[in-house]
Amino acid sequence: MTSSSKANIPFSMDDFAKALEQQEFDFSTGQVVQGKVHSYDTNGVYVEIGGKSLAFVPQNEVGLKNQINLEQELPLQSDQEFLIIKESNADGQVTLSRRRLAIKQTWDRLAQMQENKQSITVRVTGVNKGGVTVDAEGLRGFVPRSHLVDKENLEQLVGQILTVTFLDLNSETQKLVLSQREAVSNASFGEWELGQLVTGKVVSIKPFGVFVDLDGTTALLHIKQVSQSYIESLSNIFQVGQEVKAIAIDVDEAKRRLSISTRVLENHPGEMLENMAEVMASAEDRAHRAAKKVLGES
């Protein structure tokens, strides 16, 4: 049979049916499809997606809310996107979901925000021993106690709106862990400038330096930046909770790192060790001279 004679064979109904079956086979779970709302049913909505049978959206898969008006959520003849959650049955009917598509899109959007190092606002919905649960654009998230600004009065946070950033996001395990403390730190980091006099409280003392909290931003006062004289042990000089005034000597916004110095405030080597109270009391008067040293000005 020649190619020309093959081209003249009519396209039979059987061929058409097989073509439809092949098209149905192309619909797979997890696929996003475009459809036109066809009709309503007591249990859901029928949608035309191009198959041999109308696809079906169960009532509980229409949207994120429990109580939904079908006419408002999915108007007749409107074009919508849906997620296939069950492949075609014996009748060729595919099961769709708008709810799961919305959840998937939200996870994707939050993942993009995490990649761009953006913050998000959430509403506190509950409290447990480890922290607070939050509503993050319809998803359930968690903020550990250690990553809250107010770690003590958790019950008072319920219903409040918090600005948070991402610690851990995994759509497959439905894990969303957030931090208010880091969001506050990120927002305030841009306020710091080289040579600026800062005031904070000691939060941790290590052999190599002292960590100082500056309204949500943690700065490092390295042992070599405490005094011009040798220091054997920082624990003999500082206490946790102690107020410290110092000069910002390194502001690295890319690495979120802030280094400070009390050494540049000294009038003579060892003054911080001999009379720290005087250095702190007159820090404002010494700050201009100290800033010029840091900035390399004469």
- In CATH, what number is assigned to the domain containing residue 26? 2.40.50.140
| Sign of torsion over alpha carbons 191, 196, 197, 201 | positive
CA distance 126 to 102: 23
Residue from 284, 286, 220 nearest 248 by CA: 220
How many structural domains are present in the chain? Answer: 3
pLDDT tens for residues 17-55?
555 555 445 688 888 999 999 999 888 899 999 877 899
Is residue 222 in some structural domain? yes
- Is the pTM for the entire model greater than 0.95? no
Last residue of a domain, one of 141, 159, 185: 185
In this structure, the answer to whether residues 250 and 236 fall within a common structural domain is yes
Strand, helix or coil for residue 189: helix
Is residue 283 in some structural domain? yes
Last residue of a domain, one of 185, 217, 237: 185
Residue from 238, 265, 229 nearest 249 by CA: 265
Residue from 95, 103, 100 nearest 41 by CA: 95
Is residue 282 in some structural domain? yes
Per the CB < 8 A criterion, the answer to whether 159 and 194 are in contact is no
In this structure, the answer to whether residues 179 and 195 fall within a common structural domain is no
In this structure, the answer to whether residues 219 and 149 fall within a common structural domain is no
| Sign of torsion over alpha carbons 90, 92, 98, 101 | positive
Last residue of a domain, one of 28, 63, 97: 97
* pLDDT at site 24: 46
pLDDT tens for residues 226-271?
999 999 999 999 999 999 999 999 988 767 788 999 999 999 999 9
Is residue 211 in some structural domain? yes
In this structure, the answer to whether residues 150 and 234 fall within a common structural domain is no
User: Phi-psi category of 117—alpha, beta or left, where left has phi over 0 and alpha has psi -120 to 50?
Assistant: left
- Beta bridge partners, 165, equal 179
**What domain range is 254 assigned to?**
190-295
In this structure, the answer to whether residues 148 and 52 fall within a common structural domain is no
